[in-house]
Structure 1
């Protein structure tokens, strides 16, 4: 365990870190924080990401830091969203295939009707031609 002298910003994040104060510096200008041995190296290298609470304890990432349960919840929500999207995509793909099949079927019906109408037009044109006197 090591005693650190820190200064913090308005959100209590560390902006200055010292193990010893220089001569003439007043300890009252600093917050005194005891850092656990296992956190010492990280705190010294990354003190800017630590927030000091009103009770003098430190929190890596601050009070809004993501915790393991928070992360697990977010992952579960993301997996639910992925599952929902996968199901929606599957349903949309099925609907697209059905629409394409219906389109092909309707197109074939129109082609048959067009052929039938074309044959009827040719037949009517023949009848009109037979009824029309030939020009001399």
Structure 2
């Protein structure tokens, strides 16, 4: 049985995979869900800011809550990470794009959009790195098992 060696202790490869999958699907998924809920709920609860920005936040927040909810319920793939990352990028640039179109964007909305966008981009990148590390570990284990059978 292959083991994953960290600087703390040797962990069996299956447990390392379960840990990475739980971190990927559950922990990062909950952070993404909280960020999308903030986009969807906060502007409606406060009735603060421009309506154009609130509509943008409500639409993106609702889409993200659906995608991230499925991610938490079913587990995720790189596709959900890409969708979340693209939505995060949109939230980073949307206050400026809406501002260029002479749409009214309140400073509170701008701060919320940029903060949530940064969280979404960061968590999607971390999530993609975890998927990559898990695939590399699985490939290394497969190569190790093949060498053992030869």
TM-score, L = length of structure 1: 0.29
TM-score, L = length of structure 2: 0.28
Higher RCO structure (Cα 8 Å, ≥6 apart):
2
- Which structure has greater strand proportion? 1
